[in-house]
Amino acid sequence: GGRVVGIMPAFLRSRERLFDDVETIVVTSMHERKQLMYDESDVFVVAPGGVGTLEEVVELLSWKRLDLHAKPVIFLNLDGFWDGFFTLIEHTVEKGMTPASFLEAYVSVDSVEAAIEAMKSAQDTPHLQHDRR
């Protein structure tokens, strides 16, 4: 029942192919892409990806830590893909650089079916007020 929209900066059109099965919006920059992705999303599902995906999810989680949004973030952790990232986040908590409440800012699932179920049952997470220590 949801809507999937692809958002691609124009300069990538010659490097990557468009996924024809979904609506695609072409924008002028990566910054515009991320802003539009944020504005148009009710929930974020983070699939396995490379450094670009990592950069986007770190910014998204940073915004969440700063209480700029309360949208659900669901990691599709196929074959433990994101385990190293979760270990790093936990390390920042252990070292006192990130509040422990931040571990509630996202959920991890291990299948597409579980991600769909998590999206169906997702509600905005309460503002965690991470910086109030």
- What per-residue confidence (pLDDT) applies to 41? 87
What confidence category does residue 55 fall into, taking pLDDT thresholds of 50, 70 and 90? very high
For 60, the 3-state DSSP assignment is: helix
Answer whether residue 73 shows pLDDT above 80: yes
How confident is the model over 11-32, as pLDDT tens digits?
887 777 667 778 888 999 989 9
Structural domain boundaries in the chain: 1-40, 43-122
- What per-residue confidence (pLDDT) applies to 27? 93
For 7, the 3-state DSSP assignment is: strand
Answer whether residue 121 shows pLDDT above 90: no
Is the Cα torsion angle 96, 133, 62, 80 positive or negative in sign?
positive
* Separation between Cα atoms, residue 77 and residue 31, nearest integer Å: 26
- Tell me the mean pLDDT in the region 26-41: 90
CATH architecture of 43-122: 3-Layer(aba) Sandwich (3.40)
Q: Three-class SS string for 8-35?
A: EEHHHCCCCCCCCCCEEEEECCHHHHHH
Answer whether residue 86 shows pLDDT above 60: yes
- What per-residue confidence (pLDDT) applies to 125? 54
* Separation between Cα atoms, residue 42 and residue 116, nearest integer Å: 13
Global pTM reads 0.83
